A and B are shown apart, each in its own frame.
Chain A
Amino acid sequence: MTSTDQSPQTRADRATAKRMRRFDNPWLNPKLIWGASLLLFIIALGILGRFVWNLDLVFTGSTPLKLPPVGFENLRRQEGVWDYPLGTDGGGRDILALIIMGAPNSLFVGMLASLIGMSVGITLGFTAGFVGGRTDDTIRILSDVMITIPPLLILVVFQAAYGDVSLTMMALLIACFVWQSPTRLIRAQVLSMRTSGYVQMAQLSGASTPHIMFREMLPNLVPYLFGSFIANVTTSIVTAVGLEVLGLGPQRIPTLGRTIYEAINAGALIQNLWWWWGIPTLLLAVMFIGLLLINLGLDEISNPRLRKLS
């Protein structure tokens, strides 16, 4: 760093210099760091919670009913107790135990669905962009048609007919509706990259098609893939929670959405049991803000205009 020998005069200059230095390592992006910390907090809650908290408290009737969090009173003038720091619900379940079990479950469904969707999207997108012709037409039309179908509608019908599902099954079902946008994104990128100089150079170098696809093109797609992956995780979680709040989705496994569903069903709003629905909602909000920040951060990192500054 040579800026030290020309020491900046004003405060604004120093602030600029500091901002510029941050571009040296694009991964030290404040948005990305904050977003990742929020998500790590939720994951840590899920992992550490299993060791320090008694998870048997998620079973119905294992605690007194409708206790408020510590420091609050419920309508029956009961004080919160440290045995159940975040309160209990109307079925005698501990809220803390519920979110320790439920939050990672929601995140897991989102991640898995997005991962499957992305894999399908990458494969189809590359195939469409590379093979072209009929194959391209088929894939393109299929994904365009699928984008217009509202996923919640189909999933509600499907799950209502199917009854209880496992988390994995639910992720699979949601994955059916998140592969379209990565497909389109990658197809477009592949089409423009195919005529780029370095791909032509690789062709001249006698590179095989898999080499061009995976060694020349894919690395340059990584920022897009990350962004698309995070966006898909968000969509998947929204879909999953939406289904759970409607009372669909897994019946026997605690999830954040299902907790909210039960709170609504039991009239928690009228009884002023705000912690029952409020704490899971807050946790979902933290999760979404974390994902959004990660997405914004990655966007800045992969933005070529910012990369050029380094």
Chain B
Amino acid sequence: MTSPVLTMKDVSIDFPTPAGIVNAVKSLSLTINPGVKVGFIGESGSGKTTTALAIMRMLAAPGRVSSGEILLGQDKTNVLTLSEEEMRRARLRRVSYIPQGAMNSLNPVMRVENQMWDAIVAHEGKTDLATLRSRSDAALESVGLPARVGRLHPHELSGGMKQRVCIALGVILTPELIIADEPTSALDVVTQRQVMETLTEVQTRIGCGLILIGHDMGLMAQSVDELAVLKDGVLVEHGTTRQIIENPQHPYTKDLISSVPLVGGETFLSPAVAAPASQKTGPEPLLEFRNVTKRYGNVTALQPMSFTLEGDVPQIISIVGQSGSGKSTMGSLMLGFNEPSDGQVLFEGKDISRLSTSEALGFRKNVQAVFQDPYACFNPFYRVEHALKFPFKRFGLSQSDAHTQTAMEEACQAVGLDPDLILRRYPHQLSGGQRQRLIVARALMLSPKLLIADEPVSMVDASLRASILKNIYDLKDKYGISILYITHDLATAYHVSDYVIVLYHGRVAEAGPPKEVIGNPQHPYTQLLIDSIPWPDMNRAWGTSNRFDAEAHLAKAEVQPTIYRGDVDGFNLSTQFA
């Protein structure tokens, strides 16, 4: 048994704030052995990043380690007693840190290789150019990038490539410990899988310890050896990944595991009650796309697409795809924020770009949305109730102030919020989950006929996603609202939707009922997406295959025409394959 690369004994971290001292981390003890990957998991605010920063001695002022010791490496250096200069020398050479947003951590005005040379020169003194170049080229090749990437500037690289450059930078001095802080949270699943493969491969080769910080239990289960579960700064559970996934002890760990939706797994929704009558009035289909195309300059964001959503029975239609697939474009077309380049978008038989003022108000009332970013949806100037009260009055639903107040309170309760605690607050005083629920409550108050939910849970903590999706699902189930659910998450789409459309480069790749499309994908693109999702299943080979051939799949996906996997009543889709 070799000695550990990192020993933390009783580490506590404090942040003095106006409201008293916050104990961000409370007496945490942990050892990490060489060659072992440890996952720190917990929701935002659980102290996982704070712990990692403390190891690097990079805590933001006024935070500080109030007690305990952090011993690094075989020689048991206590990093807390090092001088600033000794610490500088230890960073990167002994502990390296791979940040969350690689896109923002590279210097935009320097070539990639120059940034790597900087790192070498800062630690090893003056080195001749040929050595520098050969070392940076070797580091880039070790993360699967061609050496010519070194000659490029960061803006010429994709998100996944930048993240790999950061990994190359992190391992260029073969450190004893790598800390990777949510290295893939800004990447789509396909790239995420590639980056994680690279990271584990490099780590195994140099045999260092790895701390992987994240909140996605699926990703953790697929990539680390040991798991440390943090909650409110306390280490609640620690053990091998298999042990924790298969036999979690702490209730919080159980919650984390069960909150990951599985394709084909048990549903997290309550069994459907008898569907209520639809809100729909009149014989016209609720929403219709007639050969809708959207182009931005030379780029076609959406290829010609036609569908009708009858809306006689409330349904959830999922539109699935990666960033750039055109799914958000579809959402903004439906909301009338964007006009189609060709074709028409019709709501109850009327072209939404040609509505009179009063019709437009009616359209607005009937088509509502939940957006991705719950932080941006509230005007920071007003109390949150403004977002609920204003549209209610504007659409003439309010009979009196008292009526508005009751309606708001009822809506809050329906989404599981306490109106007395929430409504009078300012947006920055609420968590992301609370805000997103309020937006759902807002939609509920207005009782639209159609709701566009554009990535409603992608910016919310994993443990809250299921409950918010359930709130949205209830809108259909209890209030008869038809929903278009736009997402990149196939697992949730599998559970909530009646019909799934998979978009790739503005084209429909595969469409049909979710059991068919996601449960048994036929299109190469859908197959790739589903293969790339990490989920907490220890027996699945994810991220260990030898460089899985994403490119080959994508090349096949380009030429593969749309695959229709069956119809559901009330929704008809047709496309022209261009």
- Interface on A for B, CB 8 Å cutoff? 1-3, 5-6, 8, 13, 16-17, 20-21, 23-24, 196-198, 200-207, 216, 219-220, 307-310
Contact of A220 (CB < 8 Å), options: B368, B369, B380, B428 = B380
Q: What distance in Å separates the Cβ of A50 from its nearest Cβ neighbour in chain B? A: 40
Determine the chain A residues whose CB is within 8 A of the CB of B395 once the complex forms.
Answer: 205-206
Taking a contact as CB atoms under 8 Å apart, the answer to whether A205 and B16 are in contact is: no
If A204-B369, A309-B17 touch, does A220 touch B379 (CB 8 Å cutoff)?
yes
In the bound assembly, the distance between CA atoms of A198 and B394 in angstroms comes to 16
Majority DSSP secondary structure for residues of A touching B: helix
Interface residues in B250-273 (C-beta closer than 8 Å to A): none
Residue of B nearest to A22 (CB): B18
Pairs A–B under 8 Å by Cβ, sample size 12: A6-B20, A198-B378, A200-B369, A200-B371, A201-B387, A202-B379, A204-B368, A204-B391, A205-B395, A206-B361, A216-B379, A220-B381
The total number of A-B Cβ pairs within 8 Å is 85
In the bound assembly, the distance between CA atoms of A208 and B76 in angstroms comes to 66
Residue of B nearest to A221 (CB): B381
Contact of B19 (CB < 8 Å), options: A3, A8, A197, A219 = A3
Q: What distance in Å separates the Cβ of B73 from its nearest Cβ neighbour in chain A? A: 31
If A197-B376, A198-B379, A219-B381 touch, does A203 touch B337 (CB 8 Å cutoff)?
yes
Q: What distance in Å separates the Cβ of A141 from its nearest Cβ neighbour in chain B? A: 23
Residue of A nearest to B393 (CB): A205
Q: What distance in Å separates the Cβ of A193 from its nearest Cβ neighbour in chain B? A: 10
In the bound assembly, the distance between CA atoms of A196 and B375 in angstroms comes to 10
Taking a contact as CB atoms under 8 Å apart, the answer to whether B364 and A205 are in contact is: yes
If A197-B371, A201-B387 touch, does A2 touch B379 (CB 8 Å cutoff)?
no
Determine the chain A residues whose CB is within 8 A of the CB of B364 once the complex forms.
Answer: 203-206
In the bound assembly, the distance between CA atoms of A310 and B371 in angstroms comes to 27
Determine the chain B residues whose CB is within 8 A of the CB of A197 once the complex forms.
Answer: 371, 373, 375-378
Taking a contact as CB atoms under 8 Å apart, the answer to whether B390 and A3 are in contact is: no
| Residue with the highest number of chain A CB atoms closer than 10 Å, among B360, B368, B376 | B376
In the bound assembly, the distance between CA atoms of A53 and B394 in angstroms comes to 58
In the bound assembly, the distance between CA atoms of A7 and B387 in angstroms comes to 40
Determine the chain A residues whose CB is within 8 A of the CB of B375 once the complex forms.
Answer: 197
Q: What distance in Å separates the Cβ of A204 from its nearest Cβ neighbour in chain B? A: 6
Q: What distance in Å separates the Cβ of A253 from its nearest Cβ neighbour in chain B? A: 42
Contact of B18 (CB < 8 Å), options: A5, A6, A20, A201 = A20
B578 interface residue (CB < 8 Å to A): no
In the bound assembly, the distance between CA atoms of A197 and B455 in angstroms comes to 13
Determine the chain B residues whose CB is within 8 A of the CB of A17 once the complex forms.
Answer: 16
Contact of B17 (CB < 8 Å), options: A20, A205, A206, A219 = A20
In the bound assembly, the distance between CA atoms of A308 and B376 in angstroms comes to 15
B335 interface residue (CB < 8 Å to A): yes
Taking a contact as CB atoms under 8 Å apart, the answer to whether A207 and B390 are in contact is: yes
Determine the chain A residues whose CB is within 8 A of the CB of B21 once the complex forms.
Answer: 3, 6, 8
Determine the chain A residues whose CB is within 8 A of the CB of B373 once the complex forms.
Answer: 197
B62 interface residue (CB < 8 Å to A): yes
Determine the chain A residues whose CB is within 8 A of the CB of B19 once the complex forms.
Answer: 1-3
Taking a contact as CB atoms under 8 Å apart, the answer to whether B377 and A1 are in contact is: no
B495 interface residue (CB < 8 Å to A): no
B365 interface residue (CB < 8 Å to A): yes
Q: What distance in Å separates the Cβ of A300 from its nearest Cβ neighbour in chain B? A: 16
Q: What distance in Å separates the Cβ of B266 from its nearest Cβ neighbour in chain A? A: 34
In the bound assembly, the distance between CA atoms of A3 and B387 in angstroms comes to 34
Taking a contact as CB atoms under 8 Å apart, the answer to whether A1 and B379 are in contact is: no
Taking a contact as CB atoms under 8 Å apart, the answer to whether B18 and A309 are in contact is: yes
In the bound assembly, the distance between CA atoms of A21 and B20 in angstroms comes to 10
Taking a contact as CB atoms under 8 Å apart, the answer to whether B378 and A206 are in contact is: no
Task: Sort A-B residue pairs by CB-CB distance and give the 7 closest, nearest first.
Answer: A197-B376, A205-B391, A2-B20, A219-B381, A197-B377, A3-B20, A206-B364
Residue of A nearest to B361 (CB): A206
Taking a contact as CB atoms under 8 Å apart, the answer to whether A196 and B376 are in contact is: yes
Q: What distance in Å separates the Cβ of A133 from its nearest Cβ neighbour in chain B? A: 15
Determine the chain A residues whose CB is within 8 A of the CB of B439 once the complex forms.
Answer: 201
Taking a contact as CB atoms under 8 Å apart, the answer to whether A308 and B428 are in contact is: yes
Determine the chain B residues whose CB is within 8 A of the CB of A16 once the complex forms.
Answer: 16, 62
Contacts A8-B21, A16-B62, A201-B379 known; list 4 others, CB within 8 Å: A24-B18, A198-B377, A207-B390, A310-B18
Q: What distance in Å separates the Cβ of B404 from its nearest Cβ neighbour in chain A? A: 13
Interface residues in B345-387 (C-beta closer than 8 Å to A): 360-361, 364-365, 368-369, 371, 373, 375-382, 387
In the bound assembly, the distance between CA atoms of A203 and B379 in angstroms comes to 13
Taking a contact as CB atoms under 8 Å apart, the answer to whether B20 and A5 are in contact is: yes
Interface residues in B175-223 (C-beta closer than 8 Å to A): none
In the bound assembly, the distance between CA atoms of A310 and B19 in angstroms comes to 9
Determine the chain B residues whose CB is within 8 A of the CB of A310 once the complex forms.
Answer: 18
Taking a contact as CB atoms under 8 Å apart, the answer to whether B394 and A205 are in contact is: yes
Residue of B nearest to A5 (CB): B20
Taking a contact as CB atoms under 8 Å apart, the answer to whether B365 and A8 are in contact is: no
Q: What distance in Å separates the Cβ of A32 from its nearest Cβ neighbour in chain B? A: 19
Determine the chain A residues whose CB is within 8 A of the CB of B361 once the complex forms.
Answer: 206
Determine the chain B residues whose CB is within 8 A of the CB of A198 once the complex forms.
Answer: 376-380, 387
Determine the chain A residues whose CB is within 8 A of the CB of B17 once the complex forms.
Answer: 20, 309
In the bound assembly, the distance between CA atoms of A174 and B455 in angstroms comes to 51
Residue of A nearest to B381 (CB): A219
Q: What distance in Å separates the Cβ of A195 from its nearest Cβ neighbour in chain B? A: 9
Query: What 1/0 mask marks residues of chain B from 12 to 48 whose CB sits below 8 Å from any chain A CB?
Result: 0000111111000000000000000000000000000
